Structures are given as C-alpha cells and as structure tokens.
C-alpha cells in the first residue's frame, strides 16, 4: 500500500524531530558545557526580546481590559474587572500570546541563522575542526529559549497587569493598591504555577523546532527562508497543542 | 570583552527582574492564602457548608483573617471546617465567637464569617471548636421569594377579577358617565360649606356663652359662680342628710318593735300573742261588746223617754223647729 506523500513527509519529520530532541537530552547532560555561548544566547534571546514582548504584554492587558469592560458593566460586575484581567492574563493569554510573539521573533531567527550556517557549510566546517556543532549551536539555543521564555512571560504578565490597571482607569478611578489587591486576591498557586511550568515547554518547543528546521535546512537561499518560515509556523502550532495538553493535565490533577 | 561584560550585566538584570516578579507574585498569593506561617487553627461544625471550598476566605468582623484549610465530613449531618487564622487576628478571637457561612456578594465565592460575641469569654485556643450560626442563605431567600411569587400570582388574579368586575359594572359607569353628578356634587359641597359656616357661627356663639358662663353672667353662670347660693344649697343638702339619718333611726326602732312582735308570736307569749291566741279572752271580749251593745240600746230607750219628759220636751221641740227652717 502506497502511503500518501504528505503523510510520509509528516511522519518523517516527526521522527526526525523526536530523534533531534533525544539527541538534545543526551548531549545536554554530558560534561563539557558551552557555558559562555549559552550566556550569549540568553542575552540575545532573552534580553533583546524584552522590549518587543513588554510592549505586546502592555497592549494585551490594556486591550483586554477595554474589551472586557462593557460586558462586565452590563452585568454590573465592573468591580470584578481586575480579577478577570489577572486571571486571564496570568493563566492563559499572557503565556500563549507571549510565546507566539517569541516564536515569531526567536523561532524564525534561529531557523534562519542555523539554516544559513548550514547553507554556507559552516556547520560542516565545525564538524571538521572538531567542535561539536550540535552541542555548540543547538543545545545552547534550546536551553536559552527554555529558560528565557518563562522569565519573559513573567515580566510580560506584570507589564500586562499594569496595562490593565491603566485600562481600568480610563473610565473609572481605581487606586493601584486596590487594583493589585483585587488582581492578586483571585490568584492562587494553582493558577500561577501550571501557567509558568507550561511556558518552559513552550520555550523548549520553540527552540528545538527552530534549531531542527535550521539544522536540516535545504541547500540554497530558498532553503533558509523555508526553514525560518516553517520554524515559526510549526512552533506556533505546537504552542497551542502544548497548551491544550497542559490544560488537560491541570484539569486531571484538579488544579483548574 | 567589555561588550561581553555589559551584555552579561544586562542579562543578569533581566533574569533578576523576572525572578523578582515571580517571587513577589508567589509571595503575595501565598500571603493571601496563608500558605506561609499561621499555624493557629480553629474549627467549626456545620450541617451544610453551602459549597464552601478549601482556600475560601475567613473573615473576622469583615476583615480578612485567614482561609479554609480543610473540610471533612464527620457524620451524615455534621461537617467540620478547619480554618487557618492569621497571627495578627488570633488575639481577638474569643471562645464564644459565632461562625457562619456567607457569600461575597450575590454570586461570589463562599466565605466563613467569624463574628465576635458581646459577652466576655477567654481567647480561643488552637484547635478550638467555635459555635456556629445559620445565616441567611440564598437558597432560603429564594424559597421565600418563591412563596412571595405565588402570593403575588394569587393577588394579581384577584386584582384582575376585581378590575373585571369594575369594568363590567354598569352602575359604576353610569355614575362615572353622569354629567349632572359633578354639578350635584359641587352643589353638595357648596351646601356643605354653607353648613360649615353656620356651624362656625354657632360655635362662635357657644363660645360666647361659655365665656359669659365662666365669667359668672346669666343663670347658669350664677349657679356655677355664686358662692352664697352654693353654701345654702350645701346646707340644705346636709339637713336632708340629717333628716334621712333620723328617719333611718326611726325605721330601725320600728323594725325592732316588729321583730319583737314577731318573736312574741313565734314564742306564743307576750301581750300581742295572747291577744291573738287566747280564745277565752276573745269570748269575754265578745260578751263585753254584747253587753255594751245592750247597754247602748237601753241608753237609747232611756234617752227617748227623757225626750218625752216634761222637763226636757221644750228643748227638743225647739230643735225640730230649727231643722225645718
């Protein structure tokens, strides 16, 4: 029986990706760490993304507040606005939106960077010179995205909550203290911790998919663009799939 | 190398900021939920907790004082709620405080309310079981509202019927449609006003009379105000009173006599009794009376004989002549 080409391609890629991920774990936990490169990647991936994600988070909080407000006013529950904003930002919208923006910025840049290195045969040169390209290029980047994304999401949530505070104050006057009290009153560890834990997986997925797409980029300039593009598309999709899995796991554990 | 250091510093600042925000938020949440500190526990037993959950807030006189640590079923009618109380609130909760379950707003989360009791009592100890009170809950309120609703239905039905009757009442509509009625009513009111004026005048007159009377003018006033007359009247009344007293004494004496007679009669002795009962004396009396009668008859004869006596004849003739005239 002939398997359709698209399914074949999908299964091949999934298998390759799984092997790639397995290689990451085997390489990452063996000595001779590329610590300096890891720090440099953290700086590029984490620190350099902060302005973009901060602005996104701020606008997210502000717009969410302004969109929620009319409905809550209809129900006479305007005072619940801070609670709703903090719950929705911390639990769902903050992690997912920030991860998507992060995937767009970092996933594509990793894919393009490694793709161009592959195309210009720098990776091959590294192998020849005795440096382990996987360890130097992939492990550092994936570790950096995994560690940096949660931090970025925490800061983005904070900025988003501040945006929500400003949004509340467009129509009504609420003190910062009251807003923060109300926002934190509804939050529990069960709200914050699963949301933060899942962002590690988001970061890991973005890093590993970007690296995989770049590492196995097709030859030619066309291949670089393709790997950058597919890195973003696939990691965005994977973020949603992981989110779905995360919400089900927290549901099963009774932390919803 | 300098560039590398600067970027490292920036990265360090970024990571620190992120971690600080995380720690701050986790600490705030933990403080709200009393995860840190607060080993002081209180218990309360309810028949029903109305959907109370672990982690719900505990309020002391409306102030956040801790949260619900555990809810366990003790028996089929008893549920025990364990609360963790903040350090700064526990020194105000006394053993006789009342615990009830309420809700934050109409649809909000359930909340445990601890209300202080005005009566003195020692401070509550760790793991004490506090008294519980049943507060108004939404279900009961809705049940009452349901009853009210039913009543409203009945009332509105009745109202409908009443309105229907009013609408169908020809008499009422005739009255309402009657154009002359309003003028009649107006006239009636005018008459009433006149009558009122008359009454007013009368009242004024009466007022005048009363004023005169109180001043001592007129007969009534004299009667009321003249002290001499009043004294005389008083004197007369006193005399009447004395007379009646004397009469009373006389009556008493008569009464005594009659009582004496009655006693005599009942005892069959004494004069009266003998008078009434002695048959011999009665016969004697009768004989005496007969003798007297006979005596009188003889006397009459004697007198007639005397008339014819020559000595006295002239006198009797003279008398007869006077009679004829």
Please give the residue of chain B at the shortest CA–CA distance from A49.
Answer: B14
φ, ψ for residue B246 (rounded to 5)? -60, -45
If you average pLDDT over residues B228-253, what whole number do you get?
87
Q: Cβ atoms within 10 A of the Cβ of A37, count? A: 17
Say which of B17, B33, B35 has its CB closest to residue A155.
B17
- Count chain A–chain B contacts defined by CB atoms under 8 A: 57
Q: Is A150 on the interface with B (CB under 8 A)?
A: yes
Q: CA separation (Å) from B119 to A165, B94, B96, B132? A: 45, 10, 8, 16
DSSP letter at B94?
B
* Closest by Cα among B57, B115, B110 to B86: B57
Q: What is the pLDDT of residue B274?
A: 67
Q: In sequence order, what E strands does B51-106 have?
A: 57-60, 63-75, 78-85, 98-103
Cβ contact, residue pair B18, A155, below 8 Å: yes
Q: Three-state SS string across chain A, please?
A: CCCCHHHHHHHHHHHHHHHHHHHHHHHHCCCCCCHHHHHHHHHHHCHHHHHHHHHHHHHHHHHHHHHHHHHHHHCCCHHHHHHHHHHHHHHHHHHHHHHHHHHHHHHHHHHHHHHHHHHCCHHHHHHHHCCCHHHHHHHHHHHHHHHHHHHHHHHHHHHHHHHHHHHHHHHCCCCHHHHHHHHHHCCCHHHHHHHHHHHHHHHHHHHHHHHHHHHCCCCCHHHHHHHHHHHHHHHHHHHHHHHHHHHHHHHHHCCC
Cβ contact, residue pair B11, A39, below 8 Å: yes
Q: Cβ atoms within 10 A of the Cβ of B301, count? A: 10
Share of chain B above pLDDT 70, in %: 89
In angstroms, what separates the C-alpha of B102 from chain A's closest C-alpha? Answer: 18
In angstroms, what separates the C-alpha of B98 from chain A's closest C-alpha? Answer: 25
For residue range B274-292, list pLDDT tens digits in order: 666 667 777 888 899 999 9
The first and second tokens of residue A111, run together, are 């894919």
Q: Cβ atoms within 10 A of the Cβ of A147, count? A: 21
Q: Is A152 on the interface with B (CB under 8 A)?
A: yes
Q: What is the pLDDT of residue B214?
A: 76
Say which of A50, A184, A188 has its CB closest to residue B55.
A188
User: pLDDT tens per residue, chain A (256 residues)?
Assistant: 677 888 998 899 899 999 999 999 988 888 778 888 899 999 999 999 999 999 999 999 999 999 999 998 898 888 888 899 999 999 999 999 999 999 999 999 999 999 999 989 898 899 899 888 888 899 999 999 999 999 999 999 999 999 999 998 888 888 888 888 888 888 888 888 899 999 999 999 999 999 999 999 887 888 899 999 999 999 999 999 999 999 999 888 877 6
Please give the residue of chain A at the shortest CA–CA distance from B105.
Answer: A77
To probe the interface with B, which of A188, A194, A200 has the most B CB atoms within 10 Å?
A188
Cβ contact, residue pair A47, B55, below 8 Å: no
Q: What is the pLDDT of residue B132?
A: 84
Q: What is the pLDDT of residue B223?
A: 67
Please give the residue of chain A at the shortest CA–CA distance from B4.
Answer: A40
Among B residues 32-61, those touching chain A with beta carbons less than 8 Å apart = 32-33, 35, 55
Q: Is A176 on the interface with B (CB under 8 A)?
A: no
Instruction: Round to whole Å and give the CA distance between A250 and A92.
Output: 13
Please give the residue of chain A at the shortest CA–CA distance from B16.
Answer: A151
Q: Is B23 on the interface with A (CB under 8 A)?
A: no
Say which of A39, A157, A158 has its CB closest to residue B8.
A39
Please give the residue of chain A at the shortest CA–CA distance from B19.
Answer: A151
The first and second tokens of residue B148, run together, are 């009210």
Q: Is A43 on the interface with B (CB under 8 A)?
A: yes
Q: What is the pLDDT of residue B135?
A: 65
Q: Cβ atoms within 10 A of the Cβ of A118, count? A: 22
For residue range B256-278, list pLDDT tens digits in order: 888 887 887 777 666 666 666 66
DSSP B268-296: T-SHHHHHHH-HHHHHHHHHHHHHHHHHH
> CA gyration radius for chain B?
59
Name every chain B residue with its beta carbon within 8 A of the beta carbon of A155. 17-18, 21
Instruction: Round to whole Å and give the CA distance between B34 and B42.
Output: 14
Cβ contact, residue pair A46, B25, below 8 Å: no
Cβ contact, residue pair B15, A151, below 8 Å: yes
Please give the residue of chain B at the shortest CA–CA distance from A37.
Answer: B4
In angstroms, what separates the C-alpha of A16 from chain B's closest C-alpha? Answer: 33
Cβ contact, residue pair A154, B29, below 8 Å: no
Question: Residue B88: is its pLDDT beyond 70?
Answer: yes
Instruction: Round to whole Å and give the CA distance between A39 and B65.
Output: 45
For residue range B10-22, list pLDDT tens digits in order: 888 888 888 898 8
Q: Is B283 on the interface with A (CB under 8 A)?
A: no
Instruction: Round to whole Å and give the CA distance between A151 and A46.
Output: 8
* Closest by Cα among A80, A75, A143, A137 to A110: A137
Cβ contact, residue pair B11, A46, below 8 Å: yes
Name every chain B residue with its beta carbon within 8 A of the beta carbon of A188. 29, 33, 55
Give every CB contact of residue B87 below 8 A, 6+ residues apart in sequence: B37, B38, B40
Question: Residue B33: is its pLDDT beyond 70?
Answer: no
Say which of B7, B19, B26 has its CB closest to residue A192.
B26
Q: Cβ atoms within 10 A of the Cβ of B61, count? A: 13
Q: Is B21 on the interface with A (CB under 8 A)?
A: yes
Cβ contact, residue pair B30, A189, below 8 Å: yes
Q: What is the pLDDT of residue A2?
A: 77
Cβ contact, residue pair A42, B30, below 8 Å: no
Q: What is the pLDDT of residue A109?
A: 94
Q: Three-state SS string across B115-159, please?
A: ECCCCCCCECCCCEEEEECCCCCHHHHHHHHHHHHHHHHHHHHHH
Q: Is A255 on the interface with B (CB under 8 A)?
A: no
The first and second tokens of residue A181, run together, are 């009290």
For residue range B34-79, list pLDDT tens digits in order: 666 667 888 888 888 877 877 788 888 888 888 888 889 988 888 9
For residue range B112-156, list pLDDT tens digits in order: 888 888 888 888 888 888 888 776 666 778 888 999 999 999 999
- Calculate the CA A71 to chain-centre distance: 30
Domain boundaries defined on chain A = 21-253
ipTM > 0.90 (yes/no): no
In angstroms, what separates the C-alpha of A46 from chain B's closest C-alpha? Answer: 7
In angstroms, what separates the C-alpha of A12 from chain B's closest C-alpha? Answer: 38
Name every chain B residue with its beta carbon within 8 A of the beta carbon of A185. 32
Among A residues 49-108, those touching chain B with beta carbons less than 8 Å apart = 50
Range scoring the smallest mean pLDDT among A212-216, B89-93, B307-311 = B307-311
Cβ contact, residue pair B29, A188, below 8 Å: yes
């Amino acid at each position: 029986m002939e398997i359709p080409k698209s399914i074949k391609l999908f299964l091949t890629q999934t298998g390759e990706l799984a092997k790639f991920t397995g290689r990451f774990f085997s390489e990452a936990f063996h000595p001779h760490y590329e610590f300096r490169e890891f720090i440099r990647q953290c700086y590029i991936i984490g620190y350099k993304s902060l302005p973009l994600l901060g602005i996104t988070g701020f606008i997210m909080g502000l717009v969410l507040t302004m969109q929620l407000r009319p409905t809550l006013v209809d129900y006479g529950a305007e005072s619940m606005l801070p609670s709703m904003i903090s719950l929705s930002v911390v639990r769902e919208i903050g992690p997912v939106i920030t991860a998507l923006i992060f995937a767009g910025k970092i996933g594509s840049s990793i894919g393009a960077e490694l793709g161009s290195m592959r195309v210009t045969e720098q990776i091959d040169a590294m192998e020849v010179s005795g440096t382990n390209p996987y360890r130097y290029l992939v492990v550092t980047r994936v570790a950096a995205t995994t560690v940096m994304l949660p931090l970025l999401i925490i800061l983005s949530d904070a900025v988003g909550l501040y945006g929500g505070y400003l949004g509340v104050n467009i129509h009504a006057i609420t003190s910062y203290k009251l807003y923060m009290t109300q926002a934190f009153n509804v939050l529990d560890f069960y709200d914050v911790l699963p949301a933060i834990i899942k962002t590690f997986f988001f970061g890991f997925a973005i890093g590993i998919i970007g690296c995989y797409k770049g590492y196995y980029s097709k030859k030619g300039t066309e291949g670089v663009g393709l790997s950058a593009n597919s890195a973003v598309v696939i990691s965005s999709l994977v973020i949603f799939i992981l989110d779905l899995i995360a919400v089900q796991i927290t549901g099963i554990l009774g932390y919803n | 190398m300098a560039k590398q250091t600067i970027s490292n510093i920036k990265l360090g600042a970024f990571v620190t900021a992120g971690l600080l925000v995380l720690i701050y938020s986790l600490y705030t949440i933990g403080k709200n939920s009393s995860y840190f500190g607060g080993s002081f526990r209180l218990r309360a037993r309810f028949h029903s907790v109305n959907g109370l959950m672990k982690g719900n807030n505990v309020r002391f006189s409306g102030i956040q004082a801790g949260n619900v640590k555990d809810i366990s079923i003790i028996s089929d009618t008893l549920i025990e709620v364990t609360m963790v109380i903040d350090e700064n609130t526990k020194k105000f909760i006394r053993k006789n405080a009342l615990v009830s379950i309420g809700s934050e707003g109409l649809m909000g989360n359930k909340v445990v309310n601890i209300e202080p009791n005005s009566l003195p009592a020692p401070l509550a100890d760790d793991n004490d079981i506090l008294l519980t009170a049943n507060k108004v809950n939404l279900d009961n309120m809705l049940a009452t509202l349901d009853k009210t609703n039913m009543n409203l239905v009945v009332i509105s039905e009745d109202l409908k019927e009443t309105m229907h009757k009013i609408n169908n009442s020809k008499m009422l509509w005739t009255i309402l449609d009657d154009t002359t009625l309003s003028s009649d009513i107006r006239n009636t009111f005018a008459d009433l006003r006149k009558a009122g004026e008359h009454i007013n005048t009368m009242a004024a007159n009466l007022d005048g009379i009363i004023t005169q009377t109180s001043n001592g003018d007129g007969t009534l006033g004299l009667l009321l105000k003249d002290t001499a007359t009043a004294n005389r009247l008083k004197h007369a009344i006193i005399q009447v009173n004395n007379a009646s007293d004397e009469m009373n004494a006389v009556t008493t004496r008569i009464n005594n006599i009659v009582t004496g007679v009655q006693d005599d009669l009942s005892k069959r002795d004494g004069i009266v009794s003998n008078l009434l009962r002695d048959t011999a004396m009665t016969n004697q009396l009768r004989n005496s009376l007969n003798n007297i009668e006979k005596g009188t008859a003889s006397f009459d004869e004697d007198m007639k004989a005397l008339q014819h006596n020559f000595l006295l004849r002239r006198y009797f003739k003279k008398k007869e002549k006077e009679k004829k005239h």
